[in-house]
Structure 1
Amino acid sequence: MNQPIIQAENVGKIFPGGGGGLWRPAPPDVRAVDGVSFEMTRGETLAVVGESGCGKSTLGRLLLRLIEPSSGRVLIEGTDITTLSGAEMRQMRRKVQMVFQDPYGSLSPRRTIAQLIAEPLQVFGLVKNRRQMRERVAELLTQVGLPPSVMDRNPRQFSGGQRQRIGIARALSVDPSFIVADEPVSALDVSIQAQIINLMQDLQQEKQFSFLFIAHDLAVVRHIAHRVAVMYLGQVMEIGTKRQIYEVPQHPYTQALLSAAPEARLDRPYRRIVLKGDVPSPTAVPEGCSFHTRCPLAQGICRVERPPLAQVAPGQMAACHFAAPNSLGVAAAGPSLDKSNSPRARA
């Protein structure tokens, strides 16, 4: 059995609201991530999806300790990184890298491609001289589908898709075990998105690193993910294999997300589920189940008791009082989407 590469144990992040003034009360704290736990094995892609502001990007940065967690701990290959000193964490960063959302803002326009990709190599002492550095940069550019001859150019001379390839090459330069990709294709055209996704999959298969893939696009997620975690107001509402999440979703919020993305459902038509109301502020998360203010199935218990993230099928967990456990891997009695208006049902 594969040992976990990444283990998140009850990870949370609260951003202080800051101090008030003489005539102004202090703003409330922001609960960005609230008790998230999961594991990832080598070579696995876990996609994290949810509405804007649900804590996806904050979670990714917590896993790399780019920001400090308020609670819980993160283990990378068995080492608790939340307890490491600054020097120890700098060495750990060779194992963990990030691909950023904005291919235009993530690369300094003042440096050449060779300088950008070589910086991690120099920081960790992986090249001894300029010749070795240029050979390694040429190798990395070839791996991401760019000719080595471009290494002395500047990022402003490249398109968005090419810049994202350069960002991927930079992340791969130190042979990491774990990469967080924070919406890496959201700023790209659809045709370029497919190229970058296919490139990521090919490189992952070759190098066997683990991917945390943060995204909004459920069709992209269906293409790249092995497992999917659905977040809402800083909490994981449901997590399971790609098949379980897309074919037998157990949480009402997951069902609503899928009903809003017809391109992700392929041959499984669903009635559109329209959630009422707005997403509550992370400064005032509702008591009980955080989703109960918008959930069509909410009852009294939902308003007072927060449901645990519990197993509902082998490999599938949901934080819902009405998700029914079963042993078949298929949700038999949990909350389900109404398919009475689908062509299949009418037939």
Structure 2
Amino acid sequence: MSLEFSIRKIAQTRLLATFFFKAIPFRQKNIMNIAEIICLDKKYSTTRSLVRQIPTMESNSGDEFPTSLFMTPGEGRQGAGGLRTKGYFKRARPQKPLITVVTVVCNGETHLESAILSVINQTYDNIEYIIIDGASKDGTLELIRRYELTIDYWLSENDMGIYDAMNKAVTLATGDFIYFLGADDLLIAGAISKMVELIVEKMLSGTIYYGDVYMPGKHKLYDGEFTKYKLVKRNICHQSIFYPRSVFLKTRYNLCYSVLADYELNLRLIAFMNFVYLPVLVAYYNDTGVSSSHIDSCFVRDRLKIIKDNFGKYFFYICWFRRLLGSAKSRLMAPKR
């Protein structure tokens, strides 16, 4: 049975259910509670748990960035679609937080299908999948359309780079946590279930969770628990982090940084949020991609200021002194001729 046929069949069933509820009103509440979770296709993580009720996105007075279920067309819009446009939505359930997975892509037809399959074949069944395409000129858009009924929302239009696309995606996200998967990266089978199991056990407010990734190019893991000192030296891999959606109601990626805006964000967040390491292998991270092979000159220029602004001068000078000691130790231990 095709997914398109399933959608039509469910629509017909809902019409019959509406008539039934009118005929027997005293049963309506109980039946609706049973029927409100819809499975369109049990094969895929993104089609096993949907609802027809449009989510109401509550906002607090301190929120700077509202959430939108759909996005007004931007420059060069080539299309938009997904389950949302057909009236299907997602919501959190007890012990089943909604996880939003975001993939941003531009001219990525070579790898994108593998990334999509790694998401929709997850064992966890409460996943919202959003794809933002930067007006690709290759076959990316055709590939997205092929998987449209396993994607919650996608759009294709011009953007100002990776982080502009990510900022669009977090505007559209309704999950409890947001996870970013590169178009040339792969989620490990069962990774989201394992992360959610540990997150639910802890469920600490104001907490960002992260695990490990494997880098095939270097044949090694990246890379255990991060202290503030370790984060000052190098970033937590973006593909290992589960951010609470509340983070992006307060802030966004800084578009001044073309490659390392996620690093700058983490340096800001760790100053006032908890980062909790969970020993889970989350993804295969393509360590030959853009962020691994390009230098972000603006970030290099601003790095010391970012550290000072977010950690204070005292912490900055401790880091500087530790680095100085490490450099001196290396020189002392260097082999002499």
TM-score, L = length of structure 1: 0.24
| Bigger helix fraction | 2
| Bigger strand fraction | 1
TM-score, L = length of structure 2: 0.24
